[in-house]
């Protein structure tokens, strides 16, 4: 599981099973200003083309964003095995995923070095506020 913000005043949680990574469940809370904060299921994706977003290897943790229209934008690092690769390249890939599966898959980096130690993936979501601050 991995948590993040959602819609500026809520939290989101992405759940993906290690044993069956082809299903992603997205949970969101009600507004954090409410007395009781509860998670409810927002949507799920269950498709064979869904990548493992929450890989628990020594790869970088995925960075993701949950959109208002039931989609996930995720930036992930993974080894990509092609043919008989003994040392597969490490690829950094940007995914756009909705309830229908992967809509966009864009490789942003590829590293062939043996023992590649990983790209540090770090992400934050900035939600601008139009509320004036007191002076």
Model pTM score: 0.73
Distance CA 106, CA 75 (A): 9
Kindly give, in sequence order, each residue whose CB lies less than 8 Å from that of residue 96, ignoring residues fewer than 6 positions away.
71, 72, 73, 102, 103, 104, 105
Is the model more confident about 7 or about 104?
104
In the predicted model, what is the mean pLDDT of the chain?
79
Most confident range, picked from 7-16, 23-32, 49-58: 23-32
Domain chopping of the chain, boundaries: 2-111
Total Cβ atoms within 10 A of residue 3: 12
């Amino acid at each position: 599981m991995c948590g993040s913000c959602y819609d500026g005043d809520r939290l989101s949680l992405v759940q993906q099973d290690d044993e069956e990574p082809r299903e992603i469940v997205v949970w969101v809370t009600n507004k954090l200003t409410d007395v009781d904060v509860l998670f409810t299921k927002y949507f799920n994706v269950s498709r064979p083309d869904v990548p493992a977003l929450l890989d628990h290897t020594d790869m970088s943790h995925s960075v993701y964003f949950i959109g208002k229209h039931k989609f996930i934008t995720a930036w992930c690092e993974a080894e990509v095995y092609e043919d008989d690769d003994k040392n597969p390249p490490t690829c950094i890939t940007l995914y756009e995923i909705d309830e229908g599966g992967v809509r966009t898959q864009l490789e942003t980096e590829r590293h062939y070095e043996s023992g590649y130690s990983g790209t540090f993936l770090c992400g934050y979501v900035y939600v601008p506020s139009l509320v004036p601050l007191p002076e």
